[in-house]
């Protein structure tokens, strides 16, 4: 699974730390999602989608390797 969290964050001009605080997770969680090391739970994905005002599909997309 890929994500464009880093891009979305850049658009909103918000740091990992600030985003983590707003969403209620650790900065490590945001960081490892951006590095594609961690797949967030549906709840966390929905919270991110709510914050960026975009659908989950616009932030997270499936890749070949997920099939």
Partner 1 sequence: MKTKLLFPNQLKLIGWILLVPSTILGILMMFFNFKLMFLDTRVFGIISSEFPNPTSFFCFSKNNITDEIIGILFIIGAILVAFSKENHEDEYIAKIRLESLVWATYVSYFILILCILFVYGTGFFTVMVFNMFTILIFFIIRFHYILYKSNKSLSHEK
**Contact positions vs partner 1 (CB under 8 A):** 15-16, 24-29, 31-32, 34-35, 38, 40-41, 43-44
30 touches 19 (CB < 8 A): yes
Nearest residue (CB) to partner 1, 37 versus 63: 37
19 touches 9 (CB < 8 A): yes
Nearest residue (CB) to partner 1, 6 versus 54: 6
Nearest residue (CB) to partner 1, 31 versus 54: 31
Q: Two tokens at 37?
A: 């090391």
């Amino acid at each position: 699974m890929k994500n464009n969290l880093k891009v979305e964050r850049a658009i909103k001009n918000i740091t990992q730390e600030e985003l983590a605080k707003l969403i209620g997770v650790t900065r490590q969680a945001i960081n490892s999602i951006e590095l594609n090391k961690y797949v967030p739970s549906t709840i966390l994905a929905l919270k991110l989608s709510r914050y960026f005002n975009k659908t989950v599909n616009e932030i997270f997309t499936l890749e070949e390797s997920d099939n």
